[in-house]
Amino acid sequence: MKFFIDTANLSEIEEAYDMGVLDGVTTNPSLMAKEGITGEENVRNHYKAICDLVDDKVSAEVIATDYDAIIREGKELAKIDDKIVVKIPMIRDGIKAIKYFHSEGIRTNCTLVFSAGQAILAAKAGASYLSPFIGRLDDISYDGLELIQQIVHIYGNFGFETEVLAASVRHSMHLVKCAEIGADVVTCPLKVITGLLKHPLTDSGLAQFLSDHNKAAGKLT
């Protein structure tokens, strides 16, 4: 299972990479805006800075929504670095663009996916990654994890090569459940990754070990 971090914040990316468990990065226009990154040149430079921090797979989302403009923008994004994966929304022109990029050997991430039907279309078009949004479904009382399970099952039936990239992950249990279900990738905020570290018995056990060690060492001196 791969871990991607879902942020455009350089220090969070560095921190996750430093833990040694990071396989990639996903961004979206809202995450870029949160970092105050606007304007074509700043956006390019920021993506380049992200690519310089990680080994591979940096999803950069197009803003365009019509076919020709998606192709133009996607090609520009792909030129920034070999690590770029062009992120394209699940719309008719997006599907066409995914098919085109697939034929050109440019990796894509199909985003804003909320149904199994959409997942089938993206796989048929040759998307490298598919991003179903768990948290946003949960927010409106649909079961986000059930959708991941359904897509993993369907892709397994046909041997589709598209990787299921669980997105809109809100907490560490989302990640653990995705691992159980067999999602290929989870993208999440840093706190979801560091949340995996935590267990009260680890903390109390370590405190006990250190205290016993110090007591024994004290007796020797």
136 near ligand E4P, judged by CB under 6 A: yes
What is d(CA 54, CA 139) in angstroms, rounded to the nearest whole number? 31
For residue 167, which of 11, 1, 4, 23 has the smallest C-alpha distance?
4
118 near ligand E4P, judged by CB under 6 A: no
Interface with ligand E4P by CB under 6 A: which range of 42-50, 132-140, 155-163, 202-210?
A: 132-140
What is d(CA 180, CA 173) in angstroms, rounded to the nearest whole number? 10
Q: Measured from the CB of residue 76, what is the shortest distance to ligand E4P in angstroms?
A: 20
28 near ligand E4P, judged by CB under 6 A: yes
For ligand E4P, which residue of 3, 5, 6, 152 counts as binding (CB under 6 A)? 6
Residue with tokens 């989870």: 186
Distances from the Cα of 221 to the Cαs of 65, 107, 217, 218, in angstroms? 73, 63, 7, 6
H/E run at residue 163: strand 163-166
CA quadruple 56, 61, 64, 66: dihedral positive or negative?
positive
168 near ligand E4P, judged by CB under 6 A: yes
Question: How is residue 23 written in tokens?
Answer: 């396989």
What is d(CA 101, CA 79) in angstroms, rounded to the nearest whole number? 13
Residue with tokens 């949960």: 138
Verify whether residue 87 is a known catalytic residue.
yes
Catalytic residue, from 57, 75, 79, 87: name it: 87
For ligand E4P, which residue of 7, 108, 111, 149 counts as binding (CB under 6 A)? 111
What is d(CA 70, CA 144) in angstroms, rounded to the nearest whole number? 28
For ligand E4P, which is the closer residue by CB, 33 or 206?
A: 33
For ligand E4P, which is the closer residue by CB, 108 or 111?
A: 111
Distances from the Cα of 127 to the Cαs of 24, 112, 147, in angstroms? 17, 13, 18
Residue whose CB is nearest to ligand E4P in the complex, by number: 168
131 near ligand E4P, judged by CB under 6 A: yes
For ligand E4P, which is the closer residue by CB, 133 or 155?
A: 133
Count of residues that interact with ligand E4P, criterion CB under 6 A? 11
For ligand E4P, which residue of 7, 26, 128, 149 counts as binding (CB under 6 A)? 26
For ligand E4P, which residue of 3, 100, 101, 133 counts as binding (CB under 6 A)? 133
**Residues of the shown chain interacting with ligand E4P in the complex, contacts defined by CB under 6 A:** 6, 26, 28, 111, 131, 133, 135-136, 167-168, 187
